[in-house]
Amino acid sequence: MIGALAMPALAVEQQAIVVRQATVYANASSTAQKVGQVGAGTRVSIFSRKGGWKEIFSEEQAVIGWVRSYQVREGNFAPAAEIQTASDSRGFLSGLALFSRKASSFFKSDSGSTSSGTATIGVRGLSEDEIRSAVADPAELEKMKQFASNQQRIDGFVRQGKLSPVTIPHIEN
Amino acid sequence: MKSLLQLVLLLSLALAPVVSSTVFALDLGDLKKQLEKTRQKIDENRQKLDQVRGKVSISEEIEIGGNLVSGLLGAAPLVDDASLQRYVNDVGFWVAAQSSRSELPWRFGVIDSQGINAFAAPGGYVVVTLGLFNLLDSEAQLAGVLAHEIAHVVRKHHLKALQKTMKRDFWTSLTVKAVSDGEDRQKLNQLVNAGVQLYASGLDREYEYDADLHGVVLAARAGYDPYALLDVLTTIDSINPESEDLTVLMKTHPPTAERLGNLARKMDGKMDAYASGRVNAGRFRQLAKNP
């Protein structure tokens, strides 16, 4: 039955991992019927998205249904060795930085706990000391201003991206 | 006894013109009036001070922000990729256009640092590190990150923090003099130095929660899926917290899991209608990752 349910959706399936224990609902609503639970570290497939919800299938726990979007993380979870040598389309990313980002210790382990290693390879991050002791670079600021957008550029950008503004009131904190 | 009373009476009459003010001042009713007047004057002055305290003109705000960002750029320059920088500016400009401060000269940039972070500065400046940018998968996620920073500027979080940091007399003399004034320039530098410290120590945690919520609405107004920021936070939350790339972000922001929980709670039921907003993952990959 589960197999039959999963089959038609395989074309749009994406691999993901449950990052915190999640209740699985029959529909994308917390008032919908609860159909099960998936624990942190469970590998799932994502079929579709709706609002803050993702429709998942877990072969391991034989459950199909909807969980909160932030409870699962999408991505390719191949073994670490494979990831490190994988080609990447990000041209401006240096090899070392890529290694740092993809190093297995960079992410928490799949079970949700933290692995012991830290990723220190690659370009260093902006440390607290570097921020405090930075010497201003006015030339770089002028360069930044040159990339600023304007109304003419935005019109094309919005049209191409099929973006339309929506009127929404702010939510009170 | 009688003569003594007469003497006192005579003396007081004779001295009356000299001591009259003292005698009247000792009158209780008058004293109350005087006190009331003084109190009113103090209140008026306090109100005047509060009006100028922490208030800077838009040009002063832009000047302060420019100096702050100039410092950040000194620590980590812009990524050398014009098409990437222009794309980030388009997304940011469009999101900022949905805010109440669309008239600011908004400028965005990706800086060459593997640290995972983003910074906003008064006057409409926003920078995102390459480390954070590389974690993103779509234009909606980029919009969510920029919207959080835009919210800091729109809500004047840095200026409010500086208002608390600097003493009252600092603000009164700042606004009285022109920016070009040498002494005032020194004051502006003091503000910039205090602002730099804010980047290292962080804003009030309440401001971060506020920027999360405000940012989600701005992204939705721009036509993007408002849940994309939650996806970014989920990714950040999955990173080893001991990673050096996260040190500053973790020190200056509330725990990511709490930000996620807070957002999910506050958005619950209110944003579902806008969740079909654009994600634009294709354009993001095409424009941002193939320079």
Mean predicted lDDT score pLDDT of chain B: 84
Chain A partners within 8 Å of B133 (Cβ): none
Domains in chain B: how many in total? 2
* Together in a domain, B84 and B64: yes
**CATH 2.30.30.40 residue ranges for chain A:** 2-74
CA dihedral for B106, A150, B213, B230, sign (positive or negative):
negative
Q: Does residue B212 form part of some domain? A: yes
Q: Kindly report the nearest CA distance between residue A128 and chain B, in angstroms.
A: 5
The answer to whether B145 and B132 are in contact (CB under 8 A) is: yes
- Predicted confidence (pLDDT) at residue B59 exceeds the cutoff of 70: yes
Q: Return the SS3 of B175.
A: helix
* Together in a domain, B198 and B269: yes
d(CA A32, CA B228): 23
d(CA A44, CA A34): 17
Q: Does residue B3 form part of some domain? A: no
Mean pLDDT across B137-146? 96
What is the reported pLDDT for A172? 81
Q: Kindly report the nearest CA distance between residue B39 and chain A, in angstroms.
A: 37
Q: Kindly report the nearest CA distance between residue B187 and chain A, in angstroms.
A: 17
Say yes or no for a CB contact (<8 Å) between B70 and A136: yes
* Together in a domain, B177 and B225: yes
- Predicted confidence (pLDDT) at residue B194 exceeds the cutoff of 80: yes
Window 9-48 of B: residues touching A by CB (8 A cutoff) are none
Rounded-to-10 torsion of CA A75, A80, A81, A82: -10
Mean pLDDT across B2-20? 54
Q: Tell the burial category of B52 from Cβ atoms under 10 Å away from its Cβ (0-12, 13-18, 19+).
A: middle
Which of B52, B73, B99 represents a domain boundary (last residue)?
A: B52
Helices B205-221 and B139-154, axial angle in degrees (round to 10): 130
Q: Does residue B6 form part of some domain? A: no
* Together in a domain, B244 and B200: yes
Say yes or no for a CB contact (<8 Å) between A132 and B235: no
d(CA A54, CA A15): 12
Q: What contacts A135, CB < 8 A, 6 or more positions away?
A: B71, B74
Q: Does residue B12 form part of some domain? A: no
Q: Which amino acid is at B184?
A: D
Q: Which residue has the tokens 């009356």?
A: B16
Q: Kindly report the nearest CA distance between residue B48 and chain A, in angstroms.
A: 30
Helix H, strand E, coil C: the string for chain B is CHHHHHHHHHHHHHHHHHHHHHHHHCCHHHHHHHHHHHHHHHHHHHHHHHHHCCCCCHHHHHHHHHHHHHHHHHHCCECCCHHHHHHHHHHHHHHHCCCCCCCCCCEEEEECCCCCCEEEECCCEEEEEHHHHCCCCCHHHHHHHHHHHHHHHHCCHHHHHHHHHCCHHHHHHHHHCCCCCHHHHHHHHHHHHHHHHHHHHCCCHHHHHHHHHHHHHHHHHCCECCCHHHHHHHHHHCECCCCHHHHHHHHHCCCHHHHHHHHHHHHCCCCHHHCCCECCHHHHHHHHCCC
Window 34-93 of A: residues touching B by CB (8 A cutoff) are 50-52, 68-74, 89-93
d(CA B72, CA B112): 11
Annotation: CATH topology of A2-74: SH3 type barrels. (2.30.30)
Chain A partners within 8 Å of B128 (Cβ): none
* Together in a domain, B256 and B112: yes
Q: Does residue B9 form part of some domain? A: no
What is the reported pLDDT for B127? 96
Which of B31, B52, B73 represents a domain boundary (last residue)?
A: B52
ipTM: 0.78
Using CB atoms, which residue from B67, B86, B290 is nearest to A147? B86
What is the reported pLDDT for A99? 35
* Together in a domain, B87 and B175: yes
Instruction: Region of A162 please: left (phi>0), alpha (psi -120 to 50) or beta.
Output: left
pLDDT in tens, B72-124: 998 899 999 999 999 999 999 999 999 999 999 999 999 998 889 999 999 99
Partners of A37 in the beta sheet?
A23
In whole angstroms, how large is the CA radius of gyration of chain A? Answer: 22
Chain A partners within 8 Å of B94 (Cβ): 149, 154, 157-158, 163
Q: Does residue B146 form part of some domain? A: yes
Number of A–B residue contacts, CB under 8 Å: 247
Say yes or no for a CB contact (<8 Å) between B107 and A163: no
Using CB atoms, which residue from B105, B197, B264 is nearest to A52? B264
- Predicted confidence (pLDDT) at residue B153 exceeds the cutoff of 90: yes
Chain A partners within 8 Å of B93 (Cβ): 148-150, 153-154
Q: Which of A21, A27, A89, A147 to mutate to test the interface with B (most CBs of B within 10 A)?
A: A147
* Together in a domain, B279 and B146: yes
Chain B partners within 8 Å of A140 (Cβ): 70, 73-74, 77-78
- What confidence category does residue B15 fall into, taking pLDDT thresholds of 50, 70 and 90? low
What is the reported pLDDT for B172? 66
User: Does residue A88 or residue A16 have the better pLDDT?
Assistant: A16
Q: What contacts A77, CB < 8 A, 6 or more positions away?
A: A15, A17, A43, A110
Is B270 an interface residue toward A (CB < 8 Å)? yes
Q: Does residue B24 form part of some domain? A: yes
The answer to whether A71 and A22 are in contact (CB under 8 A) is: yes
Comparing alpha-carbon positions, the chain B residue that sits nearest to A99 is: B114
User: What six digits make up the tokens of B143?
Assistant: 């919009």
* Together in a domain, B28 and B140: no
Q: Which domain holds residue B226?
A: 58-288
Say yes or no for a CB contact (<8 Å) between A92 and B291: yes
Q: How many CA atoms lie within 13 A of B95 on its CB side?
A: 36
* Together in a domain, B96 and B174: yes
User: What six digits make up the tokens of A94?
Assistant: 């240096």
Q: Which residue has the tokens 């405090």?
A: A132
User: What six digits make up the tokens of A80?
Assistant: 């670490």
Q: Which amino acid is at B254?
A: P
Rounded-to-10 torsion of CA B180, B185, B191, B195: 80
* Together in a domain, B39 and B86: no
Say yes or no for a CB contact (<8 Å) between B74 and A167: no
Distances (CA, A) of A55 to A19, A90, B55, B185: 15, 29, 49, 57
Mean predicted lDDT score pLDDT of chain A: 70
